[in-house]
Amino acid sequence: MISKKEVKHIAKLARLGLSEKEMEKMEKELSSILEYFEKLKEVDVSQVEPTFHSVPIENVMREDEINAKRETQSAKLLYLAPETKDGYLKVKSIFKDGAN
């Protein structure tokens, strides 16, 4: 149903590190779960609209106002980050050595 190669590809899309062993386990488990999903093939939905929300909801609009508390709030949130610099989140380089 699903190959190890596919699991590898999906894991990369999901930015999720998996060991070789986990990939093998995932391959087996996912195949049986996907097989179970096949059950839905029995249901005719050709005339049915999807339900993305159970209760009808509408767009909620508000004024685009400046939030004076934003600066103190952002300091509190940055405090939770593993690495920051000058009020920004710091991330590792996205290019391999030499490229930048």
From 5, 33, 63, 66, residue interacting with another protein (rule: CB under 8 A): 33
Number of residues that bind another protein (CB under 8 A): 52
- Whole-angstrom Cα distance, residue 39 to residue 28? 18
Beta strands in the chain (DSSP E): 84-85, 88-89
CB of 23 vs another protein, minimal distance in Å: 9
From 60, 67, 70, 71, residue interacting with another protein (rule: CB under 8 A): 60
Per CB under 8 A, 71 contacts another protein: no
Burial class (CB in 10 A: 0-12, 13-18, 19+), 7: buried
CB of 81 vs another protein, minimal distance in Å: 6
